[in-house]
Homo-oligomer: A and B are copies of this chain.
Amino acid sequence: MASLLLLLFLAAITVTSQSYGSEFSIPRQIHLLRPQSGAAGSHVPGVTCLSWRLGVETNNIIGWKTVPAECEGYVGHYMLGQQYRADSKAITDEAFLYAQSLKPDGDGKDIWVFDIDETALSNLPYYAEHGFGADPYNATLFNKWVLEGKAPALPESLNLYRKLQSLGIKIVFITGRTEDQRTVTTNNLKKAGYRSWLKLVLKASSYSGKTAAFYKSSERAKLVSSGYRIVGNIGDQWSDLLGTNTGNRTFKLPDPMYYIS
């Protein structure tokens, strides 16, 4: 079942990236599955999967290690169905509307921060094979997947990236991926359609043991002290978006599969 879903997902991603240019090019008909509402989550004691997902997305439910086992099917249907993509598009559309409203200074100092995993790139092909976050995180297997360098773009993020660049806003990636993954990450971004950027910030070993929120805040502070204006910031984790120098506006993409503090 997971393999079939994965195949459908990959077909969707492929068709989308080939037909970039139209807002409506995402072949929704390929997403046969719809998110289940209500009943799907009734096995989780006290909390339905629907409420659990809202709690996660609003930063109410934090510090969780795995998706509740009873919600694996719900999360899988959500991620591979129409709703994840529709939710992502609503966010990136809103982000672009905001970006269009800005008065660019034209001094090249306007930047937009992108997270990478589940933001610029999608690891859904990996997670579809590993319980959509219901299996415990396995660093060895996940790093093996990262080193393959074949994560597809999240099409809505790629679309936003291109539109922001057309407005003269420069892109800075700040990722929890570590410095030793620079080459594979650079190649993966390019292969997925992200052809240029101002900076790609990877987690230096000096941040080892620090939270993503601390690391990302520290790196944003460096950008600001270099004279850049963070006009926007997009990520799938609240640790991308909270802290200091968060940016003039932040955009939270969906991610019901894992939590990073």
A contacts, CB < 8 Å to B = 34-35, 37-38, 46-48, 50-52, 54-55, 57-62, 82-83, 86-87, 89-91, 93-95, 249-252, 254
Chain B, Cβ-Cβ closest to A55: B90
Q: Which of B55, B87, B95, B249 contacts A91 (CB 8 A)?
A: B55
Q: Return A61 CB to nearest CB of chain B, in Å.
A: 5
The count of identical subunits is 2
Cβ B55 vs Cβ A54 within 8 A = no
Residues in B whose Cβ lies below 8 Å from that of A249:
62
Complex Cα distance A254/B57, Å?
12
Residues in B whose Cβ lies below 8 Å from that of A58:
57-58, 91, 252
Residues in B whose Cβ lies below 8 Å from that of A37:
35, 37
The verdict on A46 contacting B93 (CB below 8 Å), with A58-B57, A251-B60, A252-B60 known, is yes
Given A35-B37, A60-B90, 16 other A-B contacts at CB below 8 A? A37-B37, A46-B89, A46-B90, A47-B89, A47-B90, A50-B83, A50-B86, A51-B87, A51-B90, A54-B87, A55-B90, A55-B94, A57-B57, A58-B252, A60-B94, A60-B251
Complex Cα distance A251/B62, Å?
11
Residues in B whose Cβ lies below 8 Å from that of A83:
38, 50-51
Per CB-CB distance, the 9 closest pairs between chain A and chain B, nearest first, are A51-B90, A58-B252, A47-B90, A37-B37, A51-B87, A60-B91, A51-B86, A55-B90, A60-B251
Complex Cα distance A197/B57, Å?
31
Residue pairs across A and B with Cβ atoms less than 8 A apart, 19 shown, are A46-B90, A47-B89, A47-B90, A47-B93, A48-B86, A48-B90, A51-B83, A51-B87, A51-B89, A54-B54, A54-B87, A54-B90, A55-B91, A58-B58, A59-B252, A60-B90, A60-B94, A60-B252, A61-B94
Complex Cα distance A54/B83, Å?
11
